Amino acid sequence: MISRRLYSTTGSAGRLASVIKNVDLLKTKSYINGAWVASSTNKKFDVNDPALYPKPDSKLASVSSMTLQDFERAIDHARVAFDEFKQTSGRYRSNLLLQLYELMIENKNDLATLITLENGKPYADALGEVNYAASFFQWFAEEAPRISGDIIPSADASKRIFALKQPIGVCGILTPWNFPLAMITRKLGAAIAAGCTTVIKPASETPLSALSLGYLVEKAGFPKGVVNILATDDTAAIGKLLCESPIIKKVSFTGSTKVGKLLMNQSSSTLKKLSFELGGNAPFIVFEDADIEKAVAGAVTSKFRSSGQTCICANRIFVHESIYDEFATKFVNKVKKDSLLGYGLNKGVTHGPLIHDRSMQKVVSHIEDAVSKGASILCGGSKRPDLGTNFHELTILGDVTPDMLIFQEETFGPVAPLIKFSSDQEVIKLANDTEVGLAGYFYSTNVSKVFKVAEELEVGMLGVNTGAISEAALPFGGVQESGFGREGSKFGVDDYMVIKGIVLGDIV
């Protein structure tokens, strides 16, 4: 069931203004060098509410689509701004980030509503994202004054060696649609703390949240040119430009492994520094000694958050054969009991739509492939056209095997495959049978097993007896074809710095 919508869906501009208290957050132009500017060609693209699309009232706004020339201008401004910004103190940059953090918290309800409208995730999830996104500004505000180098003893008593950390330069930031604020702030906070300037290209599906952040940057008093946010629907060409530009010294990208490889190839001509957070195929293992109730709760949290559209959500759920039936029954019951599919701003809704038809096609194809090869549907399994074109039931599949597509590929949707295993060695081998390694999860009350399995799983992050791992303190990133570099944590600034070695001689 769906409860009554909380607002009228008549007219895109009026609809946005009717639910956003601070209308200054609503921007359709891009933010370049401290000014709001339209595309040099006046081209625009539509931003739609995925819960209502393709109905006429799904349109939220028409946003300026910035061109290659517009981005080149932003890059030039960022280069000029860097000459001064790199000279600022860590304390100065800390104060800017703290101001930005406070502004995000002050406007968190509006920002969450905006995320729900253009992304589709339920309001409670969107509000959680805003708080999570803001926490990176708070975290890196605390890191900025503490960036320091080192003094290294020399083998020559008449010399001293200094290791000096300096900001790398202008940084290009490319972000996805599934966390339209958090994927920016996790990168931007570190870049600002280091003393870098930035050119940011958000996803074309969700530019409104990013542009609202530009307003808060302006409000916080950032110097012109330090933060530039440009929306465009010419994604491939702009990505190529940022990677090939000799002015851009570092690119940070969150997205698919396929696109990451393309960007890495394009960056080779300038040998710029890269940090990539790419695709995942996260294992979620429930050992025979696990607390089943907690494992079920963790699986629901990990797998179905944002309707399975997160890079670290459980993609393959391995359950020991001795507890498989009990786990499957409790998992199905909890999903049925605690979930309500519907419009994200409606009261009580826990899960929203998929972002677009391509996501729906992948979800459907994974279910059909699995069923054709012997999997059983334990829960859900169908589209929900009564709710909207992009809605699909939360689905649980039983008896999934490694020959099925859902085992081999990241679904990025609300489908949980259950896979039986009989031994630790078997499940570790199955879990590692993938070319990507972003996140993983397992449940066990055996301390020895916790250390052993944690060391053997080939992933960059692990949740042990928890299905929720994301926070600013976590070094976020993967291994293998899930990318490289770490975001957040005390290590997050490192990718935006270079180390200069200085040898001081003639000390007597």
Active-site position among 277, 393, 410, 487: 277
Q: What integer pLDDT is reported at residue 4 of this predicted model?
A: 32
Q: pTM for this one?
A: 0.95
* Residue 172, beta-bridge partner list: 199, 251
pLDDT, average across residues 448-474: 97
What is the CATH code for 12-278+487-494? 3.40.605.10
**Number of alpha carbons in the 13 Å side-chain half-sphere of residue 59:** 12
Other C-beta atoms closer than 10 Å to the C-beta of 314 total 29
Structural contact between residues 360 and 397, judged by C-beta atoms closer than 8 angstroms: no
Write out the two tokens for 41.
């060609």
Phi, psi of 149 (to 5 degrees): -95, -145
Kindly indicate the confidence band of residue 458, based on its pLDDT and cuts at 50, 70 and 90. very high
Residues 6+ apart with CB under 8 A from 327: 286, 292, 295, 296, 319, 418
pLDDT, average across residues 307-330: 97
Residue with tokens 């600013």: 472
Other C-beta atoms closer than 10 Å to the C-beta of 10 total 10
| Cα 37 to the center of its chain, rounded Å | 27
436-437 and 479-480: which strand pairing? antiparallel
Residue 302 three-state SS: helix
Q: If we measure between CA atoms, which residue out of 457, 460, 415, 463 comes closest to residue 433?
A: 457
Clarify whether 106 is annotated catalytic. no
Residue boundaries of the structural domains of the chain: 12-278+487-494, 282-472
160-218 confidence digits (pLDDT tens)? 999 999 999 999 999 999 999 999 999 999 999 999 999 999 999 999 999 999 999 99
12-278+487-494 and 282-472 in the same fold: no
Q: What CATH architecture applies to the domain 282-472?
A: 3-Layer(aba) Sandwich (3.40)
Distance CA 196, CA 390 (A): 39
Percentage of the chain lying above the pLDDT 90 cut: 96
Kindly indicate the confidence band of residue 17, based on its pLDDT and cuts at 50, 70 and 90. confident
